[in-house]
A = this chain, B = another copy of it.
């Protein structure tokens, strides 16, 4: 519901109705709507880290293929949601102009993802699949950022093509 509607459009009453959770239980677990949104991001990041755990240590693939595989699995997740894009990008766009809590939280999430991807890109440098001296952290941030833009276009078109085109371009350019 947060992904589809965004933060401000989603009322807690609608969440309670959709989930059948009593109001008292909700406010026992969440201090307020902001706390709810921030905890949804924590849960989302648990899934992201599980995906990274799964993909980035897969020794049957090259490091670059592992990174690509993570994003391909993310695309599959988007498909199951009707191609609504990325929750982090959505909440980051909507709220980072008015909420320091969400701005810093979403930026921290992107940094975490980029940090783990950069470690895998370092392995690619070690194997000679990326040029020696590559700024792997900058390349990882670039990938995360471009992915977020492609995810926005996917949300606008309900179409995964922007995600695939971006990955093709990125990995062609990164390996060049």
A residues whose Cβ falls under 8 Å from a Cβ of B: 3-9, 84-85, 89-90, 92-98, 103, 106-107, 110, 138, 141-142, 144-153, 155-157, 162, 165-166, 169, 172-173, 176
Contact = CB atoms under 8 A, between A and B. Distances in A.
B145 A153 contact: yes
Contacts of A7: 8
Contacts of A147: 149
Contacts of A149: 89, 145-152
7 contacts: A7-B8, A84-B97, A106-B156, A110-B153, A141-B153, A148-B148, A172-B176
Nearest to A106: B156
A97 B3 contact: yes
Given A138-B165, A148-B149, A149-B145, A97 B155 contact: yes
Secondary structure dominating the interface of A? helix
Nearest to A107: B156
B97 A5 contact: yes
Contacts of A156: 92, 96, 103, 106-107, 110
Contacts of A106: 156
Contacts of A141: 153, 162, 165
A157 B6 contact: no
B4 A155 contact: no
A132 to B, nearest CB: 17
Contacts of A6: 6, 8, 93-95, 97-98
